[in-house]
Amino acid sequence: MGDTQMQTAAFFRAEGVLYKQGVVHAAAWMASQRAGFRERAFRFGQAALAAPLFSVLGQNDRSFGNRVVHLAYRGMTEDRVNLLGEEYADDVLKDKLLDRGLELVKQARKEGRRVVVISEGVSEIVEPLMKHVRGIDEVVCNRLEYRDNKATGKLLDPLVGGHEGGRWLEQYASEHNIDLARSIAYAGHGPDLLLLSGVGKPCVVNPDFTLRKAAKEADWPVMDYTA
């Protein structure tokens, strides 16, 4: 199949590009909605303990931090997680969507690109939220494991948020006939380095220290915006 038949894509890292809040905030909010003071306090504490992991390890590989923070969901029924996930998306995150990020999505659509949003968040939150963003073709996010209708606190593989971004990108491009050399990616976290370096047009958005430094060395464009 020739290059003329290949499509291009725009890959958006949701956290930092489309909205500010990350998975620690989401897990803490979900924990605060649990029944029973002891249970709320315990699960909220688990989510809070993950925050330093993201601070210390998050600029390199966020896999471990993601696994720890989502322990806060353990024991919640699937119906409850779905209900609270939609509530969090609609009542908390929807108004936090960044206008500049939405403009980038709109621009990608005008250019005829396949728009793919990548998030560390769980599907019960991210998918309802992305219904409020026009022009998205696919959402790739983390998924909770359930057993007997209750969350185990574990995430299903493949995990989003670690150093597997580059390998995932190549596989995704092969499956969807995407020309990565003509594609673009927007991201702002250290672990996204392989995702950004895998496309012909990387753009660093609201970067952490690690990625800002890498962008400067690679001479990649950097965008900073708060709304």
Q: What is the pTM of this model?
A: 0.88
Residue 56's pLDDT band, with cuts at 50, 70 and 90, is low
Cβ–Cβ under 8 Å, residues 179 and 7:
yes
Please say whether the beta carbons of 121 and 142 come within 8 A. yes
Domains of the chain: 3-223 (3.40.50.1000)
pLDDT for residue 199: 97
Q: Where are the beta strands (DSSP E) in the chain?
A: 9-13, 114-122, 138-142, 144-147, 150-155, 184-187, 201-205, 222-223
Return the beta strands (E) in 53-128 as ranges: 114-122
The residue among 128, 159, 130 whose CA lies nearest residue 142 is 159
- The residue with tokens 């993950």 is 50
Give 160's DSSP letter. Answer: T
Q: Mean pLDDT for the chain? A: 87
Interatomic CA distance for residues 142 and 124, integer angstroms: 9
Among candidate residues 35, 34, 8, 2, the one with its CA nearest the CA of residue 199: 8
Closest CA to 117 of 37, 127, 107: 127
Name the strand (E) or helix (H) holding 126: helix 123-130
Distance of alpha carbon 6 from the chain centroid: 26
Rounded to whole angstroms, how far apart are CA atoms 202 and 225? 17
* pLDDT tens for each residue of 176-212: 999 999 999 999 988 888 899 999 999 999 998 888 9
- Residue 98 token pair: 């960044």
Q: Would you state the pLDDT for residue 1?
A: 45
pLDDT tens digits, one per residue of 136-184: 999 999 999 999 999 999 999 888 877 677 788 999 999 999 999 999 9
- Predicted local distance difference test score (pLDDT) of residue 37: 46
Least confident span in 10-14, 47-51, 186-190 = 47-51
- Strand partners of residue 11: 116, 185
